[in-house]
Amino acid sequence: MSTVHLDIPSEDTARKAETAVRGLRAVTQGHPQGVVRVEAEGDPEAAVVVPAQAFELLMRILAHLANGDAVTIMPVRAEITTQQAAELLNVSRPYLIKLLDEGKLPFRRVGTHRRVLLKDLLDYKRRDEAERRDALAELTSEAQKLGLGY
């Protein structure tokens, strides 16, 4: 049973998100990065200034929705369960527990339960992916030297 809830956007939502992305890109093109002012339609008094970083995040969310992808937002300082961590790494929970017990990924105990900081998990994932790319590059290089046709 999955512990991560995914709300897949409907076709209507995807179309609206695509329209929003196109419109926002057109509005922001040629303007220097900084802040964006968002105004409620028909009510100029109900306007807010959105930091550029938050606006970029909104654009990325809309782009994913336009592609029909579910989006989940989680602060990097969030603590997650071992099941959630395993799902994010696409590994089994017992394998994740082994990583924790071997000290490859920091965690803390809350009673008898382990909790992993999302930031630590993402750092581990980046390191692991980099090691995999390096190993693949090395294997490819060796195969080429041996004339294996790769």
pTM flag (> 0.85): no
Is 16 within the bounds of a domain? yes
Q: What is the pLDDT of residue 4?
A: 57
Is 136 within the bounds of a domain? yes
Contacts of 68 (CB under 8 A, 6+ apart): 8, 9, 11, 14
**Cα(74)–Cα(117) distance, rounded to whole angstroms?**
11
Q: What is the pLDDT of residue 25?
A: 82
Are residue 39 and residue 97 in the same domain, yes or no?
no
CATH assignment of the domain containing 111: 1.10.1660
Is 27 within the bounds of a domain? yes
Is 3 within the bounds of a domain? no
Higher pLDDT, 6 or 63: 63
Please write the tens of the pLDDT for every residue from 58-106. 999 999 999 999 888 888 789 999 999 999 999 999 999 999 999 999 9
Is 4 within the bounds of a domain? no
Is the C-alpha dihedral spanning 91, 97, 98, 101 positive or negative? Answer: positive
Is 62 within the bounds of a domain? yes
Domain interval for residue 32: 11-66
Q: What is the pLDDT of residue 52?
A: 80
Is 51 within the bounds of a domain? yes
Q: 141: which 2 tokens?
A: 């290089």
Is 104 within the bounds of a domain? yes
Please write the tens of the pLDDT for every residue from 25-59. 877 776 666 677 778 888 878 888 888 888 889 99
């924790």: which residue's tokens?
100
Is the C-alpha dihedral spanning 80, 81, 82, 88 positive or negative? Answer: negative
Average of per-residue pLDDT across 18-25: 88
Are residue 140 and residue 85 in the same domain, yes or no?
yes
Please write the tens of the pLDDT for every residue from 117-144. 999 999 999 999 999 999 999 999 999 8
Total structural domains within the chain: 2
Q: What is the pLDDT of residue 150?
A: 61
Q: What is the pLDDT of residue 1?
A: 38
